[in-house]
Amino acid sequence: MSIVKIRDIRVINTNPSGANLTVVKIETTEPGLYGLGCATFAYRYKAVTLVVEEYLRPLLIGRSVADIEDLWHLMNGNAYWRNGPISNNAISGVDMALWDIKGKMASMPVYDLLGGKSRQGAAVYRHADGATLDEVVENVHRYKAQGVRHIRIQFGGYGGKASSLNTPPHSADGIYYCPDQYIQNTLKLFDHVRSQVGFDLELLHDSHERISPVDAVRLAKSLEPYRPFFLEDLLSPEQDHWYEILRQQCAAPIAIGELFNNPQEWTHLIAKRLIDFIRVHISQIGGLTPARKLAIFCEQFGVKTAWHGPGDVSPVGHAANVHLDINAHNFGIQEWSGIDDRLAEMFPGSPMLLNGYVYPNNKPGFGIELDEKMAARFPCDDSVTRWTQTRLPDGTYNTP
Ligand code: MG
């Protein structure tokens, strides 16, 4: 085969199931050979699209598809300023598409390019939420009956049930939550769920960086006897030096990373062994190329992977998670928000969940196709993002 070059780069935006999804398609000079990558940044998808179409496309057209490592660094440095979420997602779309192409050229799934399988399927965790404690328990039993052994429990989402906020008149509109009530509710939640399901099941929890650092330490210590599999985002990235204090205070396993963009945000946490699970959003850090290196770096320090797997990741992005999960020796767990029937129809070859494990297909590359005609029937949502307009009981804005 003569040198295969990038002939065109296109962006496909779609919203089939409630989240804006962005997929980059690279077409090559080899007839029929193309790759797909996930560039989903649901709340700024037009900015990502513009970076791909106006900056990366002219930079890359005519270049060989072979040297992914070099192209990644070229994209990362091309704007001089780097490591931002918009540029990282744009780079990710191209990066994953190049890995998809390389797999197709080698007639190998991406996990084979990475070194093959450490396991056949990746264990997942599902989300059990509820408006009452018994509703949470019902949802835990429902997932357990489906073979899921790891379940994230939340009581009233990430903010608890604030019954009497006593917010000052004329306060701004927003999503209000009460950290104190959240903490009390979460303690009741773990006590109730453990009393109902026992300890023969792994329970996880996500604080979504909504409490103060010292409260996070107190909460982790209080939850330690309930043996959480991990506690996620107890602290915001801005307060990450508190992880040293947290580590000295208790042995509850710690997971963080979905907000990270820059290697400087994770290197010291890993090298100092302050966390147990890294759970970055792979497109958010720039794609499979940096995520592969991050997994290998973590292995040296006994940190496991738990890649972010929410609804605002395309099936191509989920596949990138799962191909790494299957390969990495230090895989820990995979968050799984599900791929519904419409998504599976739009993206033939999507990863499949069976009995608590998710499996990639064994076709070359990521083995996923995209029905572009169907995607065009589901336009993106351009309304102002509301769920991130979070406020404390006194009306102060606080991160979501
Ligand atoms: Mg989370």
If asked whether residues 156 and 263 sit together in one domain, one would say: yes
Look up the CATH number of the domain holding residue 92. 3.30.390.10
Per-residue confidence band for 152, with pLDDT thresholds at 50, 70 and 90: very high
- The DSSP symbol for 281 reads -
CA 333–ligand 1 middle distance (angstroms): 13
User: What's the total number of domains in the chain?
Assistant: 2
Write out pLDDT tens, residues 318-374: 999 999 999 999 999 999 999 999 999 999 999 999 999 999 999 999 999 999 999
Let me know whether 133 and 98 are in one domain: no
pLDDT of residue 60: 98
Considering the domain boundaries, does residue 381 fall inside one? no
Which residue in 159, 208, 155 sits closest to 180, CA to CA?
159
Residue 370 placed within a domain: no
| Catalytic residue (one of 208, 308, 318, 323) | 208
Same domain, 152 and 291: yes
Count CA within 13 A, CB hemisphere, residue 18.
6
Q: How many helices (H) and strands (E) does the chain have?
A: 14, 15
Task: Check whether residue 11 and residue 137 sit in a common domain.
Answer: no
Q: Is 393 part of any domain?
A: no
Q: What is the CATH number of the domain that holds 287?
A: 3.20.20.120
The answer to the question of residue 322 being in a domain is yes
Residue 361 falls inside a structural domain: yes
Check 45, 125, 143, 158 and give the catalytic one: 158
Predicted local distance difference test score (pLDDT) of residue 7: 98
Domain that holds residue 299: 113-365
> Where do runs of H (alpha helix) occur along 110-237?
110-113, 133-145, 179-197, 213-223
Whole-model pTM: value is 0.97
208 is catalytic: yes
CA of 264 to the centre of ligand 1 (A): 20
Ligand 1 midpoint to CA 120 (Å): 26
Cα–ligand 1 centroid distance for 39 (angstroms): 19
Q: How far is the CA of 259 from the centre of ligand 1 (A)?
A: 9
Q: How close is the Cα of 210 to the center of ligand 1, in Å?
A: 11
Question: What is the torsional sign of CA 186, 124, 41, 385?
Answer: negative
Residues 128 and 96 in one domain: no
What value does the mean pLDDT take over residues 380-385? 97
Asked whether residue 177 is assigned to any structural domain, the reply reads: yes
Q: Is there a catalytic annotation at residue 170?
A: no
The identity of residue 306, as a single letter, is A
pLDDT at 77 over 90: yes
Mean pLDDT confidence for 126-137: 96
Please indicate, yes or no, whether residues 103 and 117 belong to a single structural domain of this protein.
no
In the reported structure, the alpha carbon of residue 362 is separated from the centroid of ligand 1 by a whole-number distance in angstroms of 29
- The answer for residues whose C-beta is within 8 angstroms of residue 367's C-beta and 6 or more apart is 109, 319, 349, 360, 361
| Residue 1 CA to ligand 1 centre (angstroms) | 44
Q: Are 289 and 312 in contact (CB under 8 A)?
A: no
Same domain, 291 and 209: yes
Q: Does 300 fall in a domain? A: yes
- Do residue 102 and residue 118 come from a single domain? no
**Where does a domain end: 79, 108, 137?**
108
Quote the tokens at residue 247. 């580590």
Residues 140 and 102 placed together within one structural domain of the fold: no
- Residue 206 alpha carbon to ligand 1 centre in Å: 6
Which DSSP category does 279 fall into?
Answer: -
Residue 253 lies in a domain: yes
- Residue 400 pLDDT more than 80? yes
Residues 339 and 262 grouped into a single domain: yes
How far apart are alpha carbons 154 and 152 in whole angstroms? 7
- Final residue belonging to a domain, choices 108, 128, 153: 108
Percent of the chain with pLDDT over 70: 98
User: How far is Cα 118 from Cα 308, in angstroms, rounded to an integer?
Assistant: 20
